[in-house]
Amino acid sequence: MTQKTPNSNTSKRIAITGAGSGLGRELALRYAREGWRVAVTDLQSGRAKRVAGEVNAAGGDAIAQTLDTRKPEDFDALLDRIREEWGGLDVFVNNAGVSNAGSVVDTPLEDWGWMLDINLMGAVRGARAALPMLRESRGHLVNIASFAAIASAPGMSAYNVAKAGVLSLSESIRGEEYGHGVGVTVACPAFFATNLLDSFRGTNDRQRAMVEKLMRRARVSAEDVANDIYDAVRENRFLVISHRDSRWQYRFKRLSPERFFTAVRKATRSFTG
């Protein structure tokens, strides 16, 4: 692919939360190869700066910013900087997230609060901060959910609920912003290799081992998901499900919810114990 040389007058502008690793990093590099200006944000400033350097080397033009999705003031600082340095924004990606496993009963309320505050409310805060600027450019909002939002498999209750909330949030914003010309994409990938387990909280060791196993077996990579999201934004498509098996499962659930429930219950029996 031919790299484009960034131009301060013509380059498109994207901001990505949690871009210091994993899918966020792959998205940053994907857009960098197209010559975009990329705001690389992460909770860890060192990771954000490192990926910003990679973006520059890949043909983009990066800024690095420390951002905690639990703090509205961090989003405000990011958007103020983008306004000052770039004059606007074309794409905003709510990507930062954490993971956990456990049933409704077994998961401590503290972990429920932690999960919802970061994975769901983080996306709410990001959307609220970015949408006024995206309206100006008739830009695009991307939310990273998960196939867990659709499957709702037992043993992952808090994660399922948070990601289902992100999916519903995306549907709501899609309707609310249609008249403003803002596009919305929500990505619902299944398991793929990433560093999401760095933040994992679970109620037993078996759960973490099972998730690690599923990640190792995945045939879809973070780069694949990033490419799918890039194409969906370009084509203004709403739902991205990168895994072929997951796309069939999505159709299966819509066609026969009870049979889908039975299949999921049997498939996750070892996970839930």
Of 159, 178, 230, 250, the active-site residue reads: 159
Return the amino acid letter for 216: R
Measuring CA to CA, how many Å separate 167 from each of 73, 87, 123, 129, 163? 24, 30, 10, 18, 6
- Based on the residue annotation, tell me whether 159 is a catalytic residue of this protein: yes
Helices (H) and strands (E) in the chain, counts: 12, 7
Cα four-point dihedral sign 102, 103, 108, 111: positive
Q: With CA atoms as reference, report the closest residue to 58 among 50, 70, 66.
A: 50
Other beta carbons less than 10 A from residue 238's beta carbon = 12
Residue whose structure tokens are 């219950």: 265
**CB-based burial, 159-174: b 16+ in 10 Å, e otherwise:** bbbbbbbbbebbeebb
Determine which helix (DSSP H) or strand (DSSP E) holds 224, and give its type and residue range.
Answer: helix 222-235
Strand ranges for the chain from DSSP E? 13-16, 37-42, 61-66, 91-94, 140-144, 183-187, 239-240
Hey, which residues are catalytic here?
A: 159
